[in-house]
Structure 1
Amino acid sequence: MKRRSFLESSTRIKRSRKPGKCPSCGHSPLASILYGYVGFDGGLQKKLEEGRIVLGGCCVSDDDPKWECTNCGQKVYKKLPEESSKSIKK
């Protein structure tokens, strides 16, 4: 997997729902990022191996990305409802 440099990844991409493909490289599908302490089982292991889920770590904040491209590492943030309404009013 190619990792993005700081400069490449410094632009925050926000979407109101999960994109069908990566907005940077076009890879499909994006993986959901799972945060917190997780209990490993066969189902989770399979999703990790398939690239449907990536682990985001145990520290959770209000400003964490929701999805990640397993090809280029681009992170995509969930657009909050108030952000969506601001863009509509413009």
Structure 2
Amino acid sequence: MDRVGDRGEARRPLCSRCDVGRVAPIMYGYPNFTEALERDLQAGLLVLGGCTPRPERWACLACHTRYREMPGPGQRWGEIVQGVPMEIGILRDGEPARALVTVRRHEPWTLALQIDGVDLIDCPDGPQIIAQGNDLFGALQQLCRAADRLKVRLLVNGARRDAYRCQVDGPDTEHLVSFLQPGRPASLTDTGAIFDPADASLIGTPDEQDRIHAGR
């Protein structure tokens, strides 16, 4: 039995994803359901993680997000939490599918894309596409280039042909992209979350994005 983490309430912060649920340590292995264990489970002092140990050490009691390490204040950008996979839509050989994208680091910005059934780089966490950039948008552009070589298109705002790194200065705009309007100054009303879904008809390539930005 592998019990991970400290059960103390002071060590159990609110979930960085939902800001509602308390995070509790995960217990891996086949449990012996004693009265004490039942009380801990009912009190939300720990979470059963299954028989096979995994890298995640903590889990939210409300939204069930799992964490390897609890992210600090500088590791969250809007709905994006470092180390927490986000499900996104993709086009794979022209057919709709789903994939997972994760911000692995932000110094430098590092993204990982996981797609079931696609032959990708074999990393410790499984087959992935890995891409880096000087900012989140730059990392996404590199991710799109690598995915395009596998005939995969990401159906997110940051992959729209009219999208570009946020053109509005602000303390918390890393997770936003601007939708460029010719002859119109950038404003927050023309922005969207970088990984929010976008229609396939709006998706372009990084080269198209660069050309539109250069000619606006």
Q: Which bracket does the TM-score occupy, shorter chain normalised?
A: 0.5 to 0.7
CA distance in 2, matches of 1:27, 1:67: 15
> Normalising to structure 1: TM-score of the pair?
0.58
Of all paired residues, the percent bearing the same amino acid is 31
Determine the C-alpha separation between the residues in 1 that align with 2:36 and 2:52. Answer: 23
Q: Secondary structure of 1:32's match?
A: strand
Q: Distance in 1 between matches of 2:52 and 2:64?
A: 19
Q: State the match for 1:67 in structure 2.
A: 58
* Contact 1:29 1:52 (C-alpha < 8 Å) held by counterparts: no
Match of 2:22 among 29, 37, 51: 29
Task: Point out where structure 2 has 5 or more consecutive residues left out of the alignment.
Answer: 1-10, 71-104, 109-216
Q: How does 1:3-42 map to 2 (within 5 A)?
A: 20-42=13-35
Question: 1:34, 1:53 within 8 Å by CA — same for their partners in 2?
Answer: yes
Q: Which amino acid is 1:55 matched to?
A: L
The aligned counterpart of 1:51 is 44
Determine which structure has the larger strand proportion and give its number.
2
Deviation at 1:78, TM superposition (A): 2.9
Q: Which has the higher contact order (CA 8 A, sep 6+)?
A: 1
1:46 maps to amino acid: R
Change (3 A) 1:22 1:42: same
Give 1:35 shift. Answer: 0.2
Equivalents in 2 of 1:38, 1:52: separation in Å? 15
CA-based RMSD: 2.3
User: Rg bigger for which structure?
Assistant: 2
Are the counterparts in 1 of residues 21 and 63 from structure 2 also a CA contact under 8 Å? no
SS in 2 for 1:47: helix
Per-residue deviation at 1:19? 5.5
- Deviation of 1:50 after TM superposition, in Å, equals 1.4
Structure 1: gaps (5+ residues): 1-17, 80-86
With normalisation by structure 2, the TM-score equals 0.26
- Tell me, in whole angstroms, the C-alpha distance in 1 between the residues paired with 2:22 and 2:31: 22
